[in-house]
Amino acid sequence: MLLLPSLAMQGGPAPEDVWRSSPLARGADPDAVTAVAAASAGYFVHSSLLPPPPELPTLRAFQAAQAVPALRWLRDRIG
């Protein structure tokens, strides 16, 4: 579930579309799913704002790109 925004960032389907097609979604508490989506979005946004590690200078831009579909997913879930 935490990798769904990365899949979307790479040109794949929207996180919610993938999630709904998963057998795990059937028994999942919708509020818990929203909480995980919020945590994922928060992680990517927060991490993207940190200084880049010297060994991975493009990491923060990558995390910012992951934040876009994560935030979109969260927005779609909470309306």
Burial (CB count within 10 angstroms: exposed 0-12, middle 13-18, buried 19+), residue 38: middle
Please determine, for residue 1, whether its predicted confidence score (pLDDT) is greater than 90.
no
The answer to whether the beta carbons of residues 48 and 60 sit under 8 Å apart is: yes
pLDDT in tens, 52-64: 999 999 999 999 9
Please determine, for residue 40, whether its predicted confidence score (pLDDT) is greater than 90.
yes
Sequence spans of domains, the chain: 4-78
Read off the pLDDT band of 16 (50, 70, 90): very high
Candidates 37, 74, 69, 67; CA nearest to 50 is 67
User: Which of helix, strand or coil describes residue 19?
Assistant: helix
Read off the pLDDT band of 72 (50, 70, 90): very high
The 10 Å Cβ neighbour count of residue 45 is 16
